[in-house]
Every structure is written in C-alpha cells, then in structure tokens.
Structure 1
Amino acid sequence: MFLSFPRRVRPGAVVAAALLLSAGCAADPGGPAEERTEAVVDAAAHQATAVEPALTVTDPRGTEVSLDAPPESVVCLVALCDDILLELGLRPAATSNPQILAHEGFLGEEADEVPVVPGGFGNEDVEAITRLEPDLVIGLAGSHEGLAPALGTSTTVWLTDSRSWQDSVDYLRAAAALTGRGEQQAAAEQRFYDALADAQATAAEEGLAELKPLVLYGSDGSFQVDSRGSIVGGLLDQVFDYDWADRGTGGHQAGGSDYSMEEILAGDPDLIFLESFTFSPDDAPLSEQFADDPVWNRIEAVREDRVYEVDLAPWATGRGTRSLGIVLGDAVDLARR
C-alpha cells in the first residue's frame, strides 16, 4: 500500500519539495470520489466552437475570475496553465514548470527563454513574481492558497483544480474567454477531440479497446494507481477498458487510489504504464524497484514485458489538452506493440 505521505512525495523536506515541484499535486476531492467518467463520448462527432471574449468567467469548480482587461502577462505556477497558454498561442511570462515546457511537444529547446519562478512548488518567491508585474497568476488549489493573499494585492490569482479531462477542456475555454483567444481555443479543442477520435478508431479497428491498461505512479517502491476517476485514467477509459475503480484515497490527487500489489495481480492488467518519480541519477525507476517483488513478477503483463515507463511531464503534470493528446498517442502506440 502507499505510505501516508501525499501523492508523489517521499519523506524528507528537500525531496518532498522537489517532488511537489515536479508533480503539482491537485486539491483533495474530499472523501471517496464518485466515478467521474461518463459514457464513452463520440469524439469524432465533436465540433468545437469558439468562446466569446469575457472579462469575468466561472471555471469548472465554480470559481469566478474577473479582470479589468484581457491579460497580456500570465505567470504559471501549475503546468495546466503552461499547457493552456501554449494551446492559445501564448507563452507564460514565467513558470514553475520548466519540465513541461521543455518537452518536445511544447517549446523544446526554446523553453530556456521562459524565466523560471524561484522557490519550491507551493512556496514560490512572491517578490520575484511581483517584479514581473503579471496581469494574472494561475496556480493550483490545495497548494497555492498561501501565496494568494500576498499576490492578490498586485495581481489577480486564479487557483485551478482540474479533476477530469472534461475539466481540462473547460479550463481551456475559460482561459480563452479571458484572453480573447476563442479562435485558438476552438482549434486546440478540436485537435484534442480529433486525437481522441483517432485513438478510439484505432482501438476499435485493431482490437485494442478490450485491453485493460493500468497507470501506476510512485517513488521509492511506494505507489498508487490512477483510477478511472483520475484525469488520465478517465481519458484512457474512453479508449480502453480502464477498469480500476476510484477509491478516493489519493490524498492530493483526484482519482488516485490505493491498490496493493496483490490486488493488481488479481486485476490482471494487459499493460502497465509507470510514472517513476526519481530525484537523482542514482534513483532507479519503478520497474527496477519492483524487480525483486515476487507478486509483481507474477503479473502477466510483467512476465510478457508489457510494462512501459512513460514521460512524467505530459502524463503526470500537464493535465491540459496538449498533454492529454500526447498521452493518447503514447498509450495507443505502446498498446499496439
């Protein structure tokens, strides 16, 4: 079972800060979560429409955000923000998430051009942010409440809390309204739904839809499962048979759930995606950490070498439509092997 520290955080303050910076833990949904995924959507039928510009929006969690003018300078303290801005054809004035920007599906080598906000995740340097004179700072509910009062005197703070892939689409739409980028939003939204439609079609045509994948994340041999109530699990459930129930035990991660290795063995996944949080070159990925576990080695997917280490940036931290499109592509490509 997963230990009693938050998702992707191992004991030790220094390591915990590094982990939070990488993962950007989301707010606790509060107790056992209902299944957040709806019936499988017909993504091929989706026609994205551009949102109208608005200086006041209400986000998927019911938070109202009001500005005096469309923001020209936005600081991102959560990777969802970086994802959204790039989808809208913008760049952050500064970021706490250089890893996501450095991904080849984002800015790649140009990520170095975006200043990095000093300070650990959830404890970013307020003075450094203030000096940038941003019009809007986008952070994460459950992590940045402590910064909001100090920053709120000079700028507007928007604390996001995406708990499903549908939420991520709605956050894109809300940000597009604020920035007046409806045309770019509609294009990005359509690209995401097209990627989902392609994944669904490929899975149906090639017999992949009946596969039962598992997303497992952790560090130091401790782990949890992304249930179908999580963002990634719910998305994969639109393509595959992602039959891992949400137990509401994910701590800071909506849809994260405790499963024992014995329960994973009994669940019999066809393939396993691993999100390994490592903090130094000497740290081993989860596939190596589990190598001597006798129960792990009895899982058929392990015996058939259908265990894949995936890129943390889009899979674990991105949460936005660009990241989720990458996840879909990765998942289908790996399932076809």
Structure 2
Amino acid sequence: MRVDDLNRRTVLQALVAGGSAALLTGCGASGPPPTASPAVSGTGSAASDRISITDQRGKTVTFAQPVTRVVTIPMPSASLLVAVDRSAEHLSAMHNASWVAMRDGIMGTMFPRALELPHDIATQDFTPNVESVRALNPDVVIQWSDAQLIEPLENAGLTVIGLTNNGKQEDVDAWVTMFAAMLGKPERAIEIKARSDHELDDIKSVAAGRGSAGPSILYFNRFTGGLKAAATNTYNDFYIKLVGGTNPATGQDPLPGTGMVGLDVEQVLKWDPEVILLGNFDQAMPQDIYSDPVWQRIAAVRERRVYKVPLGGYRWDPPGQESPLMWHWLSDIAFPQARSGLRGKVREYFRFLYDHEVTEDELNRILWTAANAESANYQQFNAA
C-alpha cells in the first residue's frame, strides 16, 4: 500500500473507527467502553500541522506539532510507543511493570536508553504520582480512561490521552493509530495494521482448515502467591479461541466475573486442562508445576504441556505490537509441528518493528527455550 497515494486523514479515521467497545482485561485496569469511536486528523508531517486525536473515552486533544515527550502509565503503552517510533527517544517515563518487562525481555538490549528512564510515576494500580509526572514536563500522558486515574493529571494541567482496556485486536489498532498520529508518523499505523491483519487472516485460515478440535487451554496471569486465570472478556480468551482451542474458564463451568479471576487448584483439577500457559506477570515456570505433587493429576502436567509464554519487546500474553507472534506460537503449541517457522517470523517482525536483527541467543531468551525444554514438542522452536 502506497501511503503517498492515500488521504492519510481518511485512512487513519477509518483505521480507528473500527475499534471495539468490548471490555479487555489482562493488561491493566479495566475501564468503561469508549463513549465515541477514537479518531485522528492531521498528518503531523510538518511543524505547522495540527494533530487532533479523539481518545477512547471520547475526548479530543490537539497538538500543534508532533509530540516529543511522552509519559506512559498503562503497561503495554511504553513498548508500543517504542515500536511505533522505532526509538525510545520520545519516551520520558513509564510504569514500573513496563520497565520490568523491558529489563527482563530484550527491549532494554535493543533500546538501552529506555532502562535509564524514570519508572516510579504511578502505583501498581496505575494511580499517578502527579508531581513526578509534572516534573517531567511531558507533551502528553498516556493513561487508562478511568476517571479517577485521569482527573488528577488533567486537574494538574497535563494533556492526557485515555485508553480503554478493551479485548479485541481492533483496540491494539486504535492504540497504534493514536500513537503514530501524535508522533507525526501516521504511515506507521497503516503499515503495522496491514501486517497484523495479514497474520490474523493467516491464523484464521489455518484454524478453519483443521478437521479436529483443539485442546483445552488455561492461561494463568498469576500463579505464585495465588492463582488468577483469564476468564471472559480477556484478550487471552480471544487468542485461545482464535487458534482453535477452548478455554475452560469460559466454557460450560466458567469462572464467575470477568478479567483475571482468582481460583483454587480444585477448580483446575475439575477442568483438567490439556495445556497450561504461564504468563509473564510473575516468575512461575513449568518446572514449578511439574515438581509439585498437587498438580500431577492434571492432563497438562501428565502430558508435559505446560509452557511459559514468550517475552520479547514486551510480554506476549497481553495485547500489543507482538501479538501476531503470540498467535503463531500458540497455534503451534496447540497443534505441534515437526518444525515451527516462528523463529523466522520473529526475525522479520523485529526488523519491521524495531529495526533490530535478532540473534539466536535472543530468540532463545524470547521463546524461553531453556525453561520450556522439558515440555512436550517444544523442540519445534529450537534453532535448526
């Protein structure tokens, strides 16, 4: 697609207008559905252009020129901004959980400046430290749309873009579009969405062509210190079903409530999931389950189908710029291959997102090949 042949304003408005109002949990605080479809206008291609963005709570903010100082509070937004920008130069501060993912993944290797940035600007529940944020003199603050999280910032005179914690892929498209617009790089939104759409169509096509049902897959957002699993209205439930699996937490005996819901081992024993996914919000590894006698009666443990979810430029378990890679990884987990093509896809995606050539050692880190080595069929992701 040639961006020069398009009316950028029309394209960007169309990209974001398709954003879903369905609730997403799994990457932060939940918020109300947007009151209006987010939209952007202006190209941001010159300093004289005015960039207007209607965020996911329906409020319009306007910039006289592309932003250069951005503070991000929602966890996915720091790495997403870097991916859209292909740089950490315009990121001024982030939530500590975002910083931890950069430190533990390879974002800090690709963009070492990011690890030097302040990351104490909000509490664990995203309540902002307003004075710390003001001291950074940001052009804009990215925050979840909950009024109690945004109002203290706006009352302090700060410009805020509100994100809703929605669960469809359209929500990631909306975030990318808004970030690209405010950075003066609207063409990046078009490129990222086009590639994501291609991968989504590919996954859907492969899933539709299978003649057998997929395994039951249970995702743990938290494992140590109390179990929390992905219930209804989560991105995790979306991609489990996308690849052809089933989620016992949303099946015939579902967990009550939405989002990440607490549960006990007895409920997991009752479901007897065939695959267990361990997320990147705590330090749990497959060996922790394999070595615990309590879990031995569960099919996923008996068949050695417990897996640590990859951690790349950001965690793959919540929505983000690397979600298409998660779809492919999970598809191969659910329906193992003799040899997965995922390593090649990661290389291509990292060139596209970060202009970074991934090494074999980095691929092993991203895919947790050592931690997952004792799990069934994981050799499909090893280097050739």
CA distance in 2, matches of 1:107, 1:154: 31
User: What is the TM-score when the length of structure 2 is the normalising length?
Assistant: 0.62
CA distance in 2, matches of 1:198, 1:103: 30
Identify the residue that residue 68 of structure 2 maps to in structure 1: 72
SS class of match (1:80): helix
Identity %: 22
Letter aligned with residue 63 of structure 2 = D
Q: 1:24 to 1:240 in 2, by over 3 A?
A: closer
Q: Deviations over 1:109-130 (max 9, x none)?
A: 4244451232543355433322
Verify the 8 A CA contact 1:86 1:106 in the aligned structure 2.
no
Identify the residue that residue 120 of structure 2 maps to in structure 1: 118
Q: 1:146 to 1:324 in 2, by over 3 A?
A: same
Identify the residue that residue 309 of structure 2 maps to in structure 1: 310
CA distance in 2, matches of 1:209, 1:87: 35
SS class of match (1:237): helix
Identify the residue that residue 340 of structure 2 maps to in structure 1: none
Task: State yes or no: 1:86 paired with 2:85.
Answer: no
Aligned Cα root-mean-square deviation (Å): 3.5
Identify the residue that residue 159 of structure 1 maps to in structure 2: 162
SS class of match (1:229): coil
Letter aligned with residue 118 of structure 1 = D
SS class of match (2:292): coil
Task: State yes or no: 1:133 paired with 2:137.
Answer: yes
CA distance in 2, matches of 1:76, 1:174: 13
Q: Deviations over 1:263-290 (max 9, x none)?
A: 4334343211012644xxxx76475268
Letter aligned with residue 172 of structure 2 = S
1:208 positional shift: 7.7
CA distance in 1, matches of 2:71, 2:272: 43
Identify the residue that residue 108 of structure 1 maps to in structure 2: 109
1:218 positional shift: 1.7
Verify the 8 A CA contact 1:51 1:182 in the aligned structure 2.
no
Task: State yes or no: 1:242 paired with 2:246.
Answer: yes
Identify the residue that residue 53 of structure 2 maps to in structure 1: 57
CA distance in 2, matches of 1:230, 1:127: 33
Q: 1:129 to 1:139 in 2, by over 3 A?
A: same
CA distance in 2, matches of 1:233, 1:125: 33
Letter aligned with residue 73 of structure 1 = R
CA distance in 2, matches of 1:223, 1:290: 16
CA distance in 2, matches of 1:179, 1:284: 37
SS class of match (2:322): helix
Q: Which has the larger radius of gyration?
A: 2
Q: Deviations over 1:24-45 (max 9, x none)?
A: 6322669xxxxxxxxxxxxxxx
Q: Deviations over 1:177-235 (max 9, x none)?
A: 44443210011112222332333345456768623322112243521221352012212
List aligned pairs for 1:138-153, cutoff 5 A: 138-142=142-146, 145-146=148-149, 148-150=151-153, 152-153=155-156
Task: State yes or no: 1:288 paired with 2:288.
Answer: yes
Q: Deviations over 1:1-28 (max 9, x none)?
A: xxxxxxxxxxxxxxxxxxxxxx863226
SS class of match (2:53): strand
1:26 to 1, 25, 29: 29
Verify the 8 A CA contact 2:274 2:299 in the aligned structure 1.
yes
Q: Which has the higher contact order (CA 8 A, sep 6+)?
A: 1
Verify the 8 A CA contact 2:72 2:141 in the aligned structure 1.
yes
Verify the 8 A CA contact 2:70 2:139 in the aligned structure 1.
yes
Verify the 8 A CA contact 1:218 1:286 in the aligned structure 2.
no
Q: 1:269 to 1:197 in 2, by over 3 A?
A: farther
Verify the 8 A CA contact 1:51 1:176 in the aligned structure 2.
no
Verify the 8 A CA contact 2:277 2:306 in the aligned structure 1.
yes
Q: 1:310 to 1:193 in 2, by over 3 A?
A: same
Verify the 8 A CA contact 1:94 1:115 in the aligned structure 2.
yes
Letter aligned with residue 241 of structure 1 = G
Identify the residue that residue 46 of structure 2 maps to in structure 1: none
Verify the 8 A CA contact 2:217 2:246 in the aligned structure 1.
yes
Identify the residue that residue 328 of structure 1 maps to in structure 2: 327
2:271 to 267, 271, 285: 267
CA distance in 2, matches of 1:199, 1:237: 11
Q: 1:299 to 1:221 in 2, by over 3 A?
A: farther
Letter aligned with residue 216 of structure 1 = F
Q: 1:51 to 1:141 in 2, by over 3 A?
A: closer
Task: State yes or no: 1:298 paired with 2:300.
Answer: no
SS class of match (2:111): helix
Instruction: Give the number of equivalent residue pairs.
Output: 283
CA distance in 2, matches of 1:111, 1:237: 36
